[in-house]
Structure 1
Amino acid sequence: MRYKTGEMYDYLKGVQQMVPWAKVIWISYGIPRHSFLSWLVMLDRCPTRDRLNIWGLNVDPLCLLCNTHPESRNHLFFECGFSADAWRKIAHRCQLQPLTVWGDIILQLQRLLRDRERLTLLAFRATVYWIWTERNTRLHQQLFKTPETVFSTIDKQIRNRLQSFRHANPRASSAMTQLWFLHS
């Protein structure tokens, strides 16, 4: 008798209902570290300052990006002026209304049209990743970037990712690249 690890894993974890936002996070062409961090953010499991205070740690509650409001998941993504500025630029590139309320953004992403879905979800997860990275860089290294520099980093990574699957799927890569540059 042969055992398959995947079957044993499914047996142990049981049957789970798929959450409605799963396609926003888990897609095959995404960047794994972006998907993983976006999943943690979606579940509100990142150690934002509001959570650190709830856990009993005595930390300054102010957002590391704007230094004016208490840091929480909803503030950091994308109520904060810093992250909202970067998100507006990304949303413009993806032809989205630049919403700033977390729940509204997720609903908007769940309702994307097929032709823009891949690119927009790739850009959203990259934005979440690089906003969180900027927050941590400020905390641990005291290095500060502007929203324009963060946007530039995201832009470069999106272009590189689109080029990376040009050989596997040249048609999709070309279509997404054209969409990305349409509003640059």
Structure 2
Amino acid sequence: MWVANYDRLPTRCRLAAWDTSIVKTCLLCGHYDESRDHLFLRCSFSEHIWKEITVRLGYRPFYFHTWTALIAWLDVGDTTSPLTLRRLVAQATIYSSPCLCKDIDRLLRNIILARKNRSKFGCLMQVWLKHTV
């Protein structure tokens, strides 16, 4: 969480600052530059997650459009949801992105392996692993 808070995550915008051949657009939506704020707060994928989380915490759905707004929400006390629970949810949400990607990767590998003898699936594993980092 502290790496995200200090904006030190290896987002595409940060990586492109070192290597201009890196495409900066978001891997999830493909529309905007992949910055920390976009990836965790503004991307349609993350907005859906935050909508579900805020409702689950007892709030009407709302979105954070800046990291500062998220941090301010994590520091203010209110009667809707306990501060500790909000902080745990925020940390889990920020942490879940790499875990989710790992789960998706594992799921796709399993699906491809289970169907490897079918003609449409024969070369999919090679294509899937081609750009693995």
* TM-score, with length taken from structure 1: 0.50
Shift of 1:62: 1.2
Of the candidates 41, 44, 49, which is equivalent to residue 78 of structure 1? Answer: 41
Runs of 5+ consecutive residues of structure 2 not aligned to the other structure: 109-133
Q: Equivalent residues in 2 for 1:8-23 (5 A)? A: none
Instruction: State the Cα deviation string for residues 55-105 of structure 1 (Å, max 9, x = none).
Output: 225222111111211100010121000011011101111134522222112
Alignment of 1:1-184 (within 5 A): 38-56=1-19, 58-96=21-59, 98-101=62-65, 102-113=67-78, 116-134=82-100, 136-137=101-102, 141=105
**Runs of 4+ residues deviating >6 angstroms:** none
**Pair 1:46–1:91, CA change in 2 (3 A):** same
What is the rounded CA distance, in whole Å, between the counterparts of 1:93 and 1:77 in structure 2? 18
CA distance in 1 between partners of 2:98 and 2:69 (Å): 20
**Shift in CA distance, 76/132, structure 1 to aligned 2, threshold 3 Å:** farther
**CA, structure 1 residues 103+40, in 2 after alignment: closer, same or farther (shift >3 Å)?**
same
Do the aligned partners of 1:61 and 1:70 also contact (CA within 8 Å) in 2?
Answer: yes
Q: CA RMSD in A?
A: 2.6
Identity rate of aligned residues, in percent? 32
Structure 1 segments unaligned to the other structure (5+ residues) = 1-37, 145-184
- Aligned partner of 1:71: which letter? E
1:112: how far off?
2.7
Q: Distance in 1 between matches of 2:70 and 2:62?
A: 8
Distance 1:137 1:67, change over 3 A: farther
**Residues 78 and 143 of structure 1: CA distance in aligned 2, closer, same or farther (over 3 Å):** farther
Distance change >3 Å, CA 112–CA 132, structure 1 → 2: farther
Whole-Å Cα distance in 2 between the matches of residues 56 and 142 of structure 1? 29
Amino acid at match of 1:75: H
Matching residue's letter, 2:62: P
Q: Distance in 1 between matches of 2:30 and 2:8?
A: 21
Q: CA deviation at 1:131?
A: 2.4
- Superposed CA deviations along residues 21-57 of structure 1, whole A, max 9, x for unmatched, are xxxxxxxxxxxxxxxxx11000000100000000225
Which structure exhibits the higher relative contact order, with contacts defined as CA atoms closer than 8 Å and separated by 6 or more residues? 1
